[in-house]
Chain A
Amino acid sequence: MIEVKGLVKTYGAKRAVDGVTFTVKRGDILGFLGPNGAGKSTTMKMITGFLRPDAGTATVDGIDVTVDPVRVKQKLGYLPESAPAYPEMTVGEFLGFIAEVRGFRGAAKTAQVDRAIQLTHLAPVRKQTIETLSKGFKQRVGFAQALLHDPAALILDEPTDGLDPNQKNEVRALIKNMSAEKAVILSTHILEEVDAICNRVIIISRGQVVADETPAQLRARQPGARLDEIFRSLTHGDI
């Protein structure tokens, strides 16, 4: 579903992403793990067509994002880091806008918005402006926006960042519920998240993939050690 080959992105003299390669199939929930500044967000921005890679390719359903960005963007749902949204719009207006841009009009538009609101439990704040929402609700608006068109692939950049433990659990349940038949990439620097929902893990350090396996295989690297110890030994030197 999503195929990434040799992606490279350089900011000035700094190589933020340095030859990242992996694939994600339908039904996979891929945990994209790495310390802050490892290059997770930059990789995701290239897959979603927001940034142009310096080298390498990212394809979704066989379509190269630099060749036909609009078609790739139709297939993807993307939750950028910190869930940006237009603060002066109400939740309903904002999701209506997303639905229209995604080509839904009239009754289809209402149906998609209602479905997204129901999935993310946003009904109580539907008429509230986004700037007045708490962090947890804002994050849910970001989710609603990403899954509004029922995309085949979801890319979520730190979806649980800044949430309290209850909200984190709720978001994880949400991701798990909607991930059947989808390809999901989820970036995080929280290890328990991987254990909780992912069936695959990629660890990225200084722009390079240092592990690509199942959570069980990751554990088997150092039997008896805690996940964060394994993580530290794989990403050490990356401060």
Chain B
Amino acid sequence: MRQITPIFKREFLGYFRSPVAYVFLIAFLVISVSLAFSRYGGFFRAGVAGLESYFTFFPWLFMFIVPAVGMRLWSEEKRSGTVELLFTLPITTLEAVLGKFLAGWAFLALAVLLSFPMALTVGYLGDPDWGIIATTYLGAVLMAGAYLGVCALTSALTKNQVISFVLSLGACAILLFLGFSSFTETLEGALPMVVADALSNFSFITHFDAFTKGIVDPKDVIFFLSLMGFTLFLNVVALER
């Protein structure tokens, strides 16, 4: 397992070897902050010192942002042929999968944490509940990891980054929409009640919501972690096939 470190390091630093990482981080901040200040976010109107209006959009924003980070994870290695180099080095598939995944996750966590000036602003303007802010950050990072697990898997299926992006986006959208009552009701019409109920348990919104209210329910943590574990397992299978 010690070979995870060089894989992680190369992948993580790789984001910063091209301007893409900086463009990405800035775009993420600009979009997330302006959504919060927009009329839908109502950061000011809310009249409460908190980051709820900022984080409400995260499940949506992640649906686009995480596939953008995840699409190159394996597709790029396959396209450029470096996958052959990587898998003839003395590492296991699991080490490569974990190293690359953790690097992408760390990059997303960095993007989320760069919003900390928002929290400081709120702290300056009022007296927010720092506990809630902390749990929300935890939830956002966990959710980013779960999204990324899905995107890493889809990226292992193709060497075309565009196809990889579209597949990821589709998969993430499904995981997101499972939480909407209208969507769930449609499902209930088509599927047996138990199945529809079980499926709606997979929604990211439902599981993320609790964190934004200051609740760290082990059920939600386990949901995100096990989704990561499951997609990474499939990722290994997809690469070894």
A interface, CB within 8 angstroms of B: 45, 48-50, 69-71, 73-74, 76, 78, 80, 82, 84-89, 97-98, 100-103, 145
Contact = CB atoms under 8 A, between A and B. Distances in A.
B14 A88 contact: yes
A78 B81 CA distance: 13
Nearest to B241: A52
A57 B6 CA distance: 31
A57 B71 CA distance: 35
B121 to A, nearest CB: 35
A74 B14 CA distance: 25
Contact of A74 (B10, B18, B81, B90): B90
Given A80-B81, A86-B82, A88-B14, A102 B89 contact: yes
Contacts, number: 60
Contact of B85 (A71, A80, A103): A80
Given A97-B6, A101-B3, A86 B90 contact: no
A83 B7 CA distance: 19
A73 B89 contact: yes
A50 B221 CA distance: 36
Nearest to A98: B89
Contacts of B81: 80, 82, 84
Interface residues of B, number: 20
A86 B14 contact: yes
A69 B93 CA distance: 11
B80 A76 contact: no
B91 interface: yes
A101 B88 contact: no
26 contacts: A45-B84, A49-B87, A50-B84, A70-B90, A70-B92, A73-B88, A73-B90, A73-B91, A74-B90, A78-B88, A85-B82, A86-B10, A86-B82, A88-B18, A89-B10, A89-B14, A89-B17, A97-B6, A98-B89, A100-B6, A100-B9, A101-B7, A101-B90, A102-B89, A103-B90, A145-B85
Q: Which 6 A-B pairs have the closest CB atoms?
A: A84-B81, A100-B6, A73-B90, A88-B17, A74-B90, A48-B88
B201 interface: no
Contacts of A100: 5-6, 9
A157 B202 CA distance: 47
Nearest to A75: B90
A85 to B, nearest CB: 7
B50 to A, nearest CB: 40
A135 to B, nearest CB: 15
Given A88-B18, A97-B10, A101-B6, A50 B87 contact: yes
